[in-house]
Amino acid sequence: MVGRHTVGVPRNDPTDTGGLFIGRRPGTAPVRYRTPPERGGAGRRFLDALLAAAVLLVEALVVLTAWGPQPVAWMWVGSQLDYATGSVFLGIVAAFFGLIGSLILTLMLATRLDHLWRLLRRAAGHDQREGVLGRIFVVTAIVAAAGFSVWFLLLEGPGSSLAPR
């Protein structure tokens, strides 16, 4: 197997090519498989495309929870501890470390989902070189920030003074 997928790749070292950089730009290398994959038929590729879309949706929802539901949930847990023990410190510590832990677990889960999405996209016939987790984080952050702004500014926060009822 050694060298099976690298034979015929042009040498891109400028010292080998008379000073000309003839190789591809960094970061644009094709996906290198251990063995050439054998894709299924058209039906299976269509099903894989649907599964990839579903996984992408789940991944986006999972990431979205990091921007709102999880912090809210851990603040609620902290408040309950404060109420039960009378210790504000304990409530803050529990909420802080609980949120950190759940965010790490969320990130691990999102990473696995992103990996699964890449495999499904490749199985569906796409040259999927990279995942989409980074972009999901950005998009969900924008969505969460917009939602939070609407809630905070217009519905519950200073909205009452900006727009008196």
Partner 1 sequence: MGFRDYYRQFEEMGPEEISAELLALRDERRRRALSRIDPLDLSGTEWHEPPHPDAVNAATFALRRALNTYPDRSAGALRAALAERHGLAQEQVAVGHGAGELLRSVCAALLAGGGDALVAWPGWQPLPGLVEAAGGRAVPFPSAPAELLAHAGPDTRVMLVTSPSDPTGATLSRRAVHDLCARVPDGVTVVVDEALGEFAADGDDAAPLVADVANLVVVRSFSKAHAMAGLRAGAALGPRELVERLAPAGGLSAPAQAAAAWAASQPGAEVAARRRAAASAAHERLAAALAGSPFSAAPGSVPFAWISSSEEDGPGIAARLAAAQVFVAPGRLWGDERHVRAALRGPEAVDRLAGALLGR
- The reply to whether 46 sits near partner 1 by the rule CB under 8 A is no
Distance in angstroms (rounded) separating the CA atoms of residues 44 and 63: 28
Report which residue type is found at 131. G
**Residue of 78, 91, 110, 122 that binds partner 1 (CB under 8 A):** 122
Residues 80-99 that bind partner 1 (CB under 8 A): none
Q: Which stretch binds partner 1 (CB under 8 A): 29-37, 66-74, 92-100, 103-111?
A: 29-37
DSSP 120-158: HHHHTT----S-SHHHHHHHHHHHHHHHHHIIIIIIIST
- The reply to whether 127 sits near partner 1 by the rule CB under 8 A is no
Minimal distance in Å, beta carbon 105 to partner 1? 23
Tokens 């759940």, residue? 102
- The reply to whether 53 sits near partner 1 by the rule CB under 8 A is no
